[in-house]
Amino acid sequence: MRLAPFPGYCKRYIIIWLCAALALEGCRDHPAADRMEAGSTPAKAPVAPEGMAYIPGGQFLMGGKSAQAQEDELPRRSVGVSAFFMDRTEVTNLQFQAFTEATGYVTIAEQPVDWEALKTQLPPGTPKPPDSLLAAGSLVFQPTDGPVDLRDLSQWWAWTLGADWKHPEGPGSSLEGRWDHPVVHIAREDAQAYARWAGKRLPTEAEWEWAAMGGLKDPKYPWGNDPVTAAADRANFWQGVFPFRNDTLDGYYRTAPVGSYPANGYGLFDMAGNVWEWCADKYRADTYQMQTAPSEVINPLGPDTSFDPAEPQAEKYVIRGGSYLCSESYCTGYRVSRRMRSTPDSGFGHTGFRCVKNVEDAPGG
Ligand SMILES: [Ca+2]
């Protein structure tokens, strides 16, 4: 199956124009099996900090696990990951509020756009947009009236002044009834600030994929290999035809309360769908091709430099897990090996995060 070309996310780039299409190729199939992976689970797993799960160390084939794998998910190679703790859920609005109240932190989306910083991400000569567009805001999903060219993100992402984590759909919206939903409109540096405050860190891309597998051998999804077309009770994603008809068979149009669907084998919720989750690694389309030495595939930290062929000027970081906007006809972000990228100063209405912690850094670790 060939997917529509999917450019990476870059909030402020969209203010001006949209990213070029990235040609994607179908890839070879990897028959998957739902048997347990032999991880290095100790006889007695360490007690996880509150709200976190213990993820045993192990070795796995990281990368594309089906014919839907994109070029940047290949080649698959054996990767080793040490044990760690991971938040069972995406960080919620209530948790993020505790952070901002304790620190006074103001997110990127709550601040005016810094044109000097923005233009470094854009092709030389890009004209400065009107000041009215550079006020504080973020990108909010708005459905289209019918089928559209899926390469053109601007048709469903609306630059919305006043949209931020406390106002997910912009002025007039609030968190009432959504305190247990994942926080959104979070830039990577916002997520890092929260993680530092919480004594945690963002997961590496390898840790994220290993954890999403939940102890299964080569699963396509965190729940195994049952087709996504029959998985509306497994995760919050888009059922219907993106971006205009959402059948909400899973019960939610946008975010869902964390933990609304079954956990994977490690006790992690929403590793597929709900919101994209920031990772620590810089994004390169050829990351997996570059990591060839054994030392590069044991707890890999990602490349030193970023490169997204669709937006060569922009520094990108990896996001994982997909969101409530993912569908079979579009990004399939709910696949455990699916990689996506976004600029670190970008927040979106479908982007949040969760944190991890080293075992040795936990009490009693
Ligand atoms: Ca949904």
Q: Could you tell me the two tokens for 341?
A: 């990228």
The pLDDT value given to residue 7: 63
Rounded to two decimals, what is the model's pTM?
A: 0.90
Residue 218 CA to ligand 1 center (angstroms) comes to 25
The pLDDT value given to residue 365: 61
Per-block mean pLDDT, blocks of 10 residues, the chain (365 long): 56 50 30 43 81 97 96 95 98 98 98 88 86 93 96 93 98 98 98 98 98 98 96 97 97 98 98 98 96 84 95 94 95 97 94 97 75
Indicate the average pLDDT of the chain.
Answer: 89
- Residue 37: CB atoms within 10 A of its CB come to 18
Residue 267 CA to ligand 1 center (angstroms) comes to 21
The pLDDT value given to residue 6: 60
The pLDDT value given to residue 108: 96
Pick the CATH number of 11-21+54-361 from 3.40.640.10, 3.90.1580.10, 3.20.20.70, 3.30.43.10: 3.90.1580.10
Give the contacts of 346 (CB within 8 A, at least 6 positions apart).
9, 10, 11, 12, 108, 139, 187, 188
The pLDDT value given to residue 41: 52
**How confident is the model over 220-255, as pLDDT tens digits?**
999 999 999 999 999 999 999 999 999 999 999 999
Residue 219 contacts residue 35 (beta carbons within 8 Å): no
Q: Could you tell me the two tokens for 101?
A: 């109240």
Residue 244 CA to ligand 1 center (angstroms) comes to 13
- Domains of the chain, by residue range, sit at 11-21+54-361
The pLDDT value given to residue 2: 40
Size of the chain in residues:
365
% of the chain beyond a pLDDT of 70:
88
Residue 254 CA to ligand 1 center (angstroms) comes to 6
- Residue 196: CB atoms within 10 A of its CB come to 13
Q: Which of 303, 338, 292, 300 is nearest to 319 (CA)?
A: 338
Residue 236 CA to ligand 1 center (angstroms) comes to 4
Q: Which of 278, 334, 265, 316 is nearest to 68 (CA)?
A: 334
Give the contacts of 350 (CB within 8 A, at least 6 positions apart).
141, 184, 254, 255, 275, 276, 323, 324, 325
Residue 162 CA to ligand 1 center (angstroms) comes to 24
Strands 276-282 and 245-246: unpaired
